[in-house]
Amino acid sequence: MSAHSSRSAGAGRRAAIAVVLVVLLSPFLWLLQMSFKSNDLILQFPPPLIFTPTLENYTSLWHGAFSASFINSLLSASFSTGFALLFGIPAAYALSRWTGSGRQALGFAILVTRMAPPIAFTIPFFLFYRWIGLLDTITGLVLVYTSFNLPLVIWMMQPFFETVPRSLEEAALVDGAGIRTVFVEIVLPMVTPGIAATAILCFLYAWNDFFFALILTRTNARTAPVAVVNFMNYEGWEWGKIAAGGSLVMAPVLIFSLAVRRYLVSGLTAGAVKG
Amino acid sequence: MTATNLIDAERRSFNRWALAPSLVILFVIAALPALYLLAASLTPFQLVNPGSSTDFSEPLRNYRLLPGDPRFINSLIVQAKLSFWGVLFQVLLGMLLALLLHTRSRFVALARTFFLIPMVLPPIVVGVIWKLIYTPDISPIYYVAGLLHVTMPSLTSSVNFALTAIIIADTWEWLPFTFLMVLAALQTIPEEYSEAALMDGAGRVQIFFHITLPFIAPILTVSAMFRLIDSVKAFPLIFLLTGGGPGSVTEVTNYYAYLLAFDFNEIGYSSAITIVMLMLVVVMSLGIMWMGRNREALT
Amino acid sequence: MSRIKSVRSVSAVSRRKLLLTGAATAATAALPFPMPAIAQARPFAGVTLHGASFQHRFFTILQNYIPEFEQQTGMKVDLQLSAFPVYNQQANLELSSGGSAYDFVNVTFILAARWVAAGLLANLDEFTSDPNLTPADWKPDDFVEGAQVPYRNAKGNTFGYSWEGGAMVMGLSRMDLMEKKGLQIPKTFAELQQVCAEINGTDNVNGIVSFQLHHWCLPPYIQGFGGNIFRNPPADIMPTLNSAEAIQAVDYYANLLKNYAPRGVITYTEDQARQAFLSGRSNIFIHSSAWVTPALLSEESKVKQTSRVVRMPAGPVHDFPASNSQGLGIPKNAKNKKAAWEFIKWALSPEMSMRIVREHGHSSVCRRSVIQSEAYRKLNTVNGQDLGALYLEVLELPAKGENYMAYRTVKEFPILGDVINKAVEQVVSGQLSGRDAMNAAQEQAVANLRRAGSAL
């Protein structure tokens, strides 16, 4: 262990990193390889590491009800991301330019909504949705996910807006441009990386959600994470399919989040700490 | 002057329009449910007794029953154990991992990306992964144990090991978080310090304890705080791996409240427990905000 | 009797046919006409019937025939199946909050008493007593008494009809090993323990296998030793979980699971247990006949030649094998009650039950006439074992003398079920002794009952 960051990695260190990586990722890799095995192979010990992979787990899942849940996840995650960005980005901008009091209180409220256990919200949401008939609907899910991604958007976009120099805006405003034009044509283009990262983080959170989907949906709006669990308890423990289901559910988020790894910490700490 | 006044007024109006929808939404999702929970916690509301939702005759009944409910007390203890050990290992191992990867190299930069995988997976998939590992029939670990003639009990149905099994899975999942945070902090340490110390003949361990550690201590604390708060939300792992069992050995407060609300439909009592959890989260969040304000190393 | 009825309905049908062929679909959908035995032009056209249950072979089989039903009635059937715990939780939530998302639901035995007592289901007597809605040859009394008890309220009204009977029997998959060791089929608890001890470890076979629903598996032992779950159900619902007999039962059962069962057995689902049994890796499996008889009847069984299915052993004081049933019911606020009744009537008719037995070998239906028929007997007698008679015998036992399954009809039973589950887990995993676990269970049960509003 050392703080010698300027020294480039020696072969020994690189080897150590590789080993640690494989060991750490082995549970994940185990799931992946199991999804390509037929059930007989899975129960076989010693586990054959060289085998003919099969796609039958994936295809049978896809032809079952799983594809519908995948689409539900896609719809609810995408729409909620869109709405959260729609409302959150202007709000973040307004907050970043606000000098008034109450900003701390708002920041605190945002932090609490991100940190509170979901059950605090599911009971009221469940009863309310039952009352107005939004249970087991995509709309219901979109509403919930939008509500919880909104604080994330505000919190993440604020620092980005703060990097936009006010002098630029002032100059344009003094020149007679309306503030809306300034916002859309000057400020927004400068924070597009932030928007992209925030969008993906919102999508990630909505996609990964399990608790809300478990309580607020039944079969019509069932999302992929819940479908995997539901599938696990069917008669017949088909491990191959379970592994394939898990792999399918994690595929989109893996791809997206590795694309925005720079902003992951910021997003996960509600931006209280810069990544 | 009139021009700037106009601009200010325009800005204020824009701000109001920009903020209004978000404020409304935030109020609705943050404040209203909290108020509803508070109200529900003052009633003996059960779904099967419709009249009980407005029965405020004995408002503090649920709160009075809490200290005498051994399952609730147990859930707090389980939560404390899970949080303590989980956070400890996540911070420790995350730090070690960051120290290992704190070098300049394209290979390492690439590897860094893959280390993030456990953290971005859907939590329920993490549960599936570890369920596979903990199921004796198909787990390589049990196979190896068998080869070594070691009889390993089924971890998730063993009183002594069930919570440990959860802690291991939880640590695996969130290690990347502290890893990222500490790595970022390590990269802010001015290199001249350690170089100077090296030239003065200091050993690596000394450098770590006297230079590195003080620098990253604030980040370690903040990471610990965040993980602590997040650990209260523990659900998917417990739901999939143990269902709170065996017995109530892995039943954390969040899970107990879930069972009460959605299996037994005791909404009133469950709300009281949830309010207690919320108080905890509020206190811890205040702690984070205070630390955020006082620590320059974070901005 | 039925012939006269049909004559009357023939003229009614011709009249109706004239009306219907001329009327628009919407109009016909509004007519709540029953479906007599003679084919009629789709009386429920345009209606979508929503139903839900947990995934079970019965529904998988039924789904093969639903298109016929849809053809005859014109309604579309949307049957949603979920995993057992997920379904129970969601259906319970839905019904408890007075929902109308479902027109018919499976009434799981765990929740039957709660739903009936809380008035969450529609009274089906209104349908069965109306000759226009239910022809007499549907015979509501044909259902085995023991299977119907959970669906009746105190006044004797019926709120569900059973589609599955669970008669607890004992299966032995490795008679070959037993014969090799000179062991007889155990008839008492003491003999059961002996046999388990002797077989366990031989040939890598476990003595016994069980699964995680301890509140189903344990009571027969409690009652076998002379105890009970409540003091005098259904009237006196004071729990008696820490009686000497109950403690003895837990110690006995936990001992079997600790020493003679596969690793991790307390987390086993029914299906995992069944697999262990059918593959011959565990010798004894005590559960509903539908889970045990596959050893003799199913394709996947590897132990067809070496299996026996018999009565479970008797305790020193009582011989009370558990029985339960799953039923179909109509939620109180369902939107299409008459259509739902059509479906239930069809799915549980004597004809459909017989077809399911004949064409799919699924025998845990609940109509006595079917169970006692020749065809049933032929299909379900294997290697000289009359499984149908055994099934019927156990299912009817609670109705014959003392209704020892009365504890199942107490609406607060789920609360005790949960407490019993935890207690057994604690004892098998070695966390607590039987005495300590049951004392704690008793305290928890009483506290939970009081908190839920029961006057104890």
- The answer to whether the Cβ–Cβ distance between A236 and C271 falls below 8 Å is yes
How many C-beta atoms lie closer than 10 Å to residue C15's C-beta?
10
- Residues in B 237-276 with any Cβ partner in C closer than 8 A: 242, 245-249, 262-266, 269
Number of neighbours of residue C155 by Cβ within 10 angstroms: 7
Task: Say if B168 falls within a structural domain.
Answer: yes
Give dist(CA A143, CA A114) in Å, integer.
16
For residue C263, give the nearest of B136, B159, B246 by CB distance.
B136
Write the CB contacts of C29 (distance below 8 Å, at least 6 apart in sequence). Answer: C44, C45, C46, C47, C74
| Test mutation, A45, A135, A211, A235, chain C, max C CBs within 10 A | A235
Interface of A with C (CB under 8 A): 126-127, 130, 135-136, 218-219, 229-237
Number of residue pairs across A and B with CB atoms under 8 Å? 297
Residues 6 or more apart whose Cβ sits within 8 Å of residue A99: none
Give pLDDT, residue B1. Answer: 54
CA atoms within a 13 Å half-sphere pointing along the CA-CB vector of C35: 24
Inter-CA distances, A87 with A157, A257, B21, Å: 12, 23, 7
Chain C residue numbers with beta carbons less than 8 Å from the beta carbon of B157 are 264-267, 425, 429
Confidence (pLDDT) at C18: 40
- CA dihedral (C41, C47, C52, C55) positive or negative: positive
Domain housing B182: 80-219
Shortest Cα–Cα distance, C160 to chain A (Å): 23
- How close is the nearest chain C Cα to the Cα of B145, in Å? 14
Q: If you search the block for the tokens 């379970």, which residue do you land on?
A: A242
- Taking 70 as the threshold, does the pLDDT of residue C5 lie above it? no
- Chain C contacts of B52, Cβ < 8 Å? 453
CA angle B239, A68, A214 (to 5 degrees): 25
Interfacial B residues in 181-210 facing A (CB < 8 Å): 181, 184, 186-187, 189, 191, 193-195, 198, 204-205, 207-208
Residue of B45, B47, B48 to mutate, testing the C interface (most C Cβ within 10 Å of its Cβ): B48
Q: Is A151 on the interface with B (CB under 8 A)?
A: yes
C-alpha–C-alpha distance, residues C335 and C330, integer Å:
10
Residues 203-232 of B with CB under 8 A from C: none
Looking at residue C248, its pLDDT comes to 96
pLDDT tens-digit profile, chain A (275 residues): 444 444 566 788 888 888 999 999 999 988 888 888 887 777 766 677 777 788 888 888 888 778 889 999 999 999 999 999 999 999 888 888 876 666 777 777 777 777 788 888 888 888 888 888 888 899 999 999 998 888 888 888 887 888 888 888 888 888 877 788 888 888 888 888 888 888 888 898 899 999 999 889 888 899 998 888 877 765 456 778 888 888 888 888 888 777 776 666 555 554 444 43
Phi then psi for residue A22, to 5 deg, are -65, -45
Quick one: which of A222, A13, A74, C448 has its CA closest to B72?
Answer: C448
Tell me, yes or no, if B146 comes closer than 8 A to chain C by beta carbon.
Answer: no
Q: Which tokens is A241 given?
A: 């399919």
Tell me the chain C residues in contact with residue A136 when contact means C-beta distances shorter than 8 Å.
101
Residue C170 and residue C275: Cα distance in Å, rounded? 15
pLDDT digits (tens, 9 = 90+) for C402-451: 889 888 878 888 889 989 999 999 999 888 999 999 999 999 999 988 88
In a domain, B11, yes or no: no
Chain C residues whose beta carbon lies within 8 Å of the beta carbon of residue B273: none
pLDDT score at B293: 66
Give the number of A-C residue pairs with CB atoms closer than 8 Å.
Answer: 39
pLDDT of residue A268: 55
Q: Is residue B58 part of a domain?
A: no
pLDDT digits 0-9 by tens, C333-392: 999 999 999 999 999 999 999 999 988 888 889 999 999 999 899 888 888 889 999 999
DSSP states along C195-207:
HHHHHTTGGG-EE
- In the numeric block, the tokens 């007989």 are attached to A40
Say how far apart CA B140 and CA B149 lie, in whole Å.
14
CB contact under 8 A, A273 and B130: no
Least reliable range by pLDDT among A214-218, B92-96, C32-36, C313-317: C32-36
Asked whether C170 and C177 are in contact (CB, 8 A), the reply is no
The distance of A219 to chain C (nearest Cα, Å) reads 7
Is residue B297 situated within a structural domain?
no
Nearest-by-Cβ selection for C452 from B46, B158, B249: B46
- Specify the pLDDT at position C160: 95
Classify strands C161-172 and C308-311 as parallel, antiparallel or unpaired.
Answer: antiparallel
Nearest to A206 by CA among A254, A253, A264, A268: A253
* Cα–Cα distance, B269 to C94 (Å, whole number): 20
DSSP letters spanning A231-270: HHTSSS--HHHHHHHHHHHHHHHHHHHHHTGGGHHHHHTT
The pLDDT score that the predictor gives to residue C345 is 94
Mention every residue, 6+ apart, whose C-beta is less than 8 A from residue B291: B218, B221, B222, B225
C422·B248 Cβ contact <8 A: yes
> Helices in B102-122 by DSSP H: which ranges?
106-115, 117-120
Q: Please give the residue of chain C at the shortest CA–CA distance from B240.
A: C267
Beta-bridged to residue C314, according to DSSP, are C188
- Token pair 């994936």 is found at A58
Asked if residue B250 is part of any domain, the answer here is: no
Structure tokens at B187: 């990269």
Stated pTM of the model: 0.82
Percentage of chain A modeled with pLDDT above 90: 17
Contacts 24+ apart (CB under 8 A), C228-231: C228/C404, C228/C407, C229/C407, C229/C413, C229/C416, C229/C420, C230/C407, C230/C410, C230/C416
Are the C-beta atoms of A238 and A226 separated by less than 8 Å? no
Give the pLDDT score at C16.
45
In contact, A194 and A156? CB cutoff 8 Å: yes
Among C110, C90, C148, which residue's Cα sits nearest to residue C416? Answer: C110
Is B76 within 8 Å of chain A by CB? no
3-state secondary structure of C164: strand
d(CA C339, CA C44): 7
Question: Alpha helix (H) ranges present in chain A?
Answer: 11-35, 39-42, 56-63, 66-96, 103-115, 119-132, 138-162, 166-174, 179-181, 188-190, 192-208, 211-216, 224-232, 239-259, 264-268
pLDDT value of position C8: 42
Residue from the list B122, B181, B233 with its beta carbon closest to the beta carbon of A207: B122
Decide if C210 contacts C265 (C-beta within 8 A): yes
A-proximal residues of C, 335-374, CB under 8 Å: none
Check CB contact under 8 Å for A229 and C83.
yes
**Cα radius of gyration (chain B):** 25
How many folded domains does chain B comprise?
1
Tell me the pLDDT tens digit for each residue of C150-185: 898 888 899 999 999 989 999 999 999 999 999 999
Report the relative pairing of strands C48-54 and C104-107 from DSSP bridges: parallel
Each residue's pLDDT expressed in tens, for chain B with a length of 299 residues? 566 777 778 877 888 888 888 888 888 877 888 888 899 899 888 877 777 778 888 888 899 999 989 899 999 999 999 999 999 999 999 999 998 888 877 777 778 888 888 988 889 889 989 988 888 777 888 888 888 888 777 788 787 889 999 999 999 999 988 888 888 888 777 778 777 877 887 777 777 887 888 888 888 888 888 888 888 888 989 988 888 878 788 999 999 999 998 888 888 999 999 999 888 888 887 877 777 666 544 44
Per-residue pLDDT, averaged over C209-233, amounts to 93
What is the rounded distance in angstroms from the CA atom of residue C220 to the CA atom of residue B220? 55
Return d(Cα A121, Cα B156) in angstroms, integer. Answer: 29
Residue of B35, B37, B129 to mutate, interface with A, max A Cβ within 10 Å: B129
Please check whether residue C88 touches A, CB under 8 A. Answer: no
Closest CB from A126, A136, A233 relative to C86: A233
d(CA C285, CA C290): 12
Query: Could you tell me which chains touch chain C, where touching means 3 or more CB pairs under 8 A?
Result: A, B
**What pLDDT sits at residue B136?**
79
Kindly state the average pLDDT of the residues C248-272.
90
B149–chain C nearest CA distance, Å: 15
Task: Name which of A126, A135, A237 is nearest C272 (Cβ-Cβ).
Answer: A237
Chain B CB contacts of C431 below 8 Å = 159, 246-247, 249
Is B139 a member of any domain? yes
Instruction: Report B:30-49 residues touching C (Cβ under 8 A).
Output: 44, 46-49
Mean pLDDT along residues C198-221: 93
Residue C373 burial (CB count, 10 A): 18
Cα–Cα distance between C100 and C48 in angstroms, integer? 13
C-alpha distance from A179 to closest chain B C-alpha (Å): 7
Of A130, A136, A236, the CB nearest to C97: A130
Q: Answer yes or no: do C440 and B70 touch at CB < 8 A.
A: yes
Q: Does C269 touch chain A (CB under 8 A)?
A: yes
Question: Is the minimum CB–CB distance between B65 and chain A shorter than 8 Å?
Answer: no
- The DSSP secondary-structure symbol of A48 reads P
- B158 occurs within a structural domain: yes
Q: How far is CA B28 from CA A121, A151, A196, A217, C198, in A?
A: 11, 13, 27, 21, 65
Q: Interior CA angle at B127 toward A234 and B288, to 5°?
A: 140
Which percentage of chain C shows pLDDT scores above 90? 53
Structure tokens given for A257: 């989040």
CATH number at residue B151: 1.10.3720.10
Q: Which of A:180-199 have CB within 8 Å of B? A: 180, 183
- Residue B16's contacts (CB-CB under 8 Å, 6 or more residues apart) are none
Contacts of A among chains (3+ CB pairs under 8 A)? B, C
Asked whether residue B270 is assigned to any structural domain, the reply reads no
pLDDT of amino acid C348: 94
